[in-house]
A and B are shown apart, each in its own frame.
Chain A
């Protein structure tokens, strides 16, 4: 069974963009080890000959006509924004000193 290290959990938290405290990471690393041990059972029956199923419906490429239909107004689309300016979402800086 793959054991998962605290460093690996910290890396996953970074990938998932969640800041975690040291005690959270410690706790989660030990829980993840137990959970992964339990779910690894799937490998017992997942043979080479079994095709994967990603979805209960066998759908592919659901198309619709390319026509304009009524949608949210800019005001409605921005109504839940934590910050906005000039009909746009206002976000913290994405380039520069802070990162």
Chain B
């Protein structure tokens, strides 16, 4: 049962073949059996999950109308507040903090009867591509425990690939949903910016951050997308418009007449040969399904990475100023004699990890008088050029596609001492965040050179999220009929305790 899709689990629950308490317990047992190796979770809320499940079972027994995913368990990225549940964002500075309120995403999950199993590991404040920057240890990729599960949402993606949860929530500032999905053989979607409320999402870079669904199938992601999306008056950047019909789109299984734009600049040099070959084969599947392939050029995408590593740290240096040891989080060095600023400096020294400090310093520099125009100001102009590139490309094609990442999962430790090499992982995912459009990654096979999963990225114009689900659903179905079984059935079995 735990290897099923979330929609199959929901169907079994609706038919009363299993209760939510039983389904939740199966996942808790699985977590107990394998998470000491995977380390996807920072906190498992056993009692809370079982009581949420019991409440859904009671409602079902009473004949109440329930959401389509009611009773299905989910893993929540530790960057989202959940009332009373430890929330750290992977940082030592928030160790022991229990938020006094629910994020809107959590409120929506609860309203839909989705059972929250616990909080998943992540790079500190979502800064990273490997979870190696977590203050609480690295998560391991279930495909090969010596490799990274991607980041920052490596815990969420690994929990899906290890069958510890059928659904998860991620957040994506430069690829933190899509890159972990790609390297773990799962599906991850960054919705249009403003499509899902940021209320209660611990901010990294507010103009780029976007929460979204993680799952093992495109339809499951769509069901979760509809459960969490929608206008929220608590987030002033939330879009006040109907949620795109992504579930219906995921079920269409038809791409006849759709134009699919291959982004010329997101391929070629620097992309692993096996990633390229699986990407090209997936394109052929879409052609066979009736889509038309066109090549589009986005010449300014090559500057996106540089602009991102100015804009995101700049916003982070401002957002992370709130961790001042005064109102929440840890306080270090308060010996009764030290002044507030001294305590603040010591706390931030002890509480923040290396990458977070690096980005705060970089952002502080980029925003400094005298350097602002050359760095932050120039990066904002590049952002305009990227928006314009997307506008031109979406005039020529319904969706755009590329490999999600240049390579498959790398070894733990391989890039942790080289920030620039690490930043290159996000080269194909960052443009989407800069423009606020939608992006999805789904698995398109294993790279012939190393046997590890390859991700295929589909990008859609703002509030046209349904188009990426339509293309993703069609491609997934075509590949499934070719393979005969989902890709995760090829992952090695984890030893169980």
A68 to chain B, nearest CB (A): 15
Which A residues are closer than 8 A to B by beta carbons? 2, 4, 8-9, 12-13, 15-20, 24, 28, 31-32, 34-36, 38-47, 50-57, 59, 62, 64, 72, 76-77, 79-83, 89, 91-94, 96, 98-99
A73 to chain B, nearest CB (A): 9
In the complex, which of the residues A17, A35, A36, A39 contacts B341, with contact meaning CB atoms closer than 8 Å? A17
Tell me whether B380 is interfacial, beta carbon within 8 Å.
yes
In the complex, which of the residues B300, B310, B339, B342 contacts A45, with contact meaning CB atoms closer than 8 Å? B300
The reply to whether B340 and A91 contact each other, CB–CB distance below 8 Å, is yes
CA distance in complex: A89, B310 (Å): 34
The reply to whether A57 and B194 contact each other, CB–CB distance below 8 Å, is yes
CB-CB under 8 A for A52 and B377, given A32-B361, A45-B385: yes
Q: Mark B328-348, 1 if CB is under 8 A from A, else 0.
A: 111100100111111111101
In the complex, which of the residues B334, B361, B379 contacts A92, with contact meaning CB atoms closer than 8 Å? B334
Interface of B is mostly: helix
Contacts of A43 in B (CB 8 A): 374, 378
Interface pick from B38-46, B233-241, B290-298? B233-241
- Extra inter-chain contacts (4) besides given A50-B385, A77-B100, CB under 8 Å: A17-B341, A72-B101, A89-B326, A92-B340
Tell me whether B327 is interfacial, beta carbon within 8 Å.
yes
CB-CB under 8 A for A17 and B207, given A45-B300, A56-B436: no
In the complex, which of the residues A46, A55, A76 contacts B377, with contact meaning CB atoms closer than 8 Å? A46
CA distance in complex: A99, B119 (Å): 40
Contacts of A31 in B (CB 8 A): 358, 419
The reply to whether A19 and B361 contact each other, CB–CB distance below 8 Å, is no
**What are 23 of the A-B contact pairs (CB < 8 Å)?**
A8-B365, A12-B364, A12-B365, A13-B361, A17-B348, A19-B349, A28-B361, A35-B420, A38-B306, A40-B375, A44-B303, A46-B379, A46-B382, A50-B384, A54-B383, A55-B207, A56-B434, A57-B194, A64-B233, A72-B101, A79-B100, A81-B326, A82-B326
Contacts of B368 in A (CB 8 A): 12
Contacts of A46 in B (CB 8 A): 377-379, 381-382
Contacts of B377 in A (CB 8 A): 46, 52
Please provide the chain B residues from 237 to 257 with a CB less than 8 Å away from any CB of chain A in the complex.
237, 239
Tell me whether B317 is interfacial, beta carbon within 8 Å.
yes
CA distance in complex: A39, B101 (Å): 38
Contacts of B365 in A (CB 8 A): 4, 8, 12, 32, 36
CB-CB under 8 A for A40 and B345, given A92-B339, A93-B340: no
Contacts of A52 in B (CB 8 A): 377, 380-381, 383-384
CB-CB under 8 A for A39 and B309, given A54-B380, A57-B193: yes
B89 to chain A, nearest CB (A): 13
Contacts of B331 in A (CB 8 A): 82-83
The reply to whether A99 and B306 contact each other, CB–CB distance below 8 Å, is no
In the complex, which of the residues A2, A45, A77 contacts B382, with contact meaning CB atoms closer than 8 Å? A45
6 nearest CB pairs, A to B: A56-B436, A80-B328, A98-B339, A52-B380, A82-B331, A46-B378
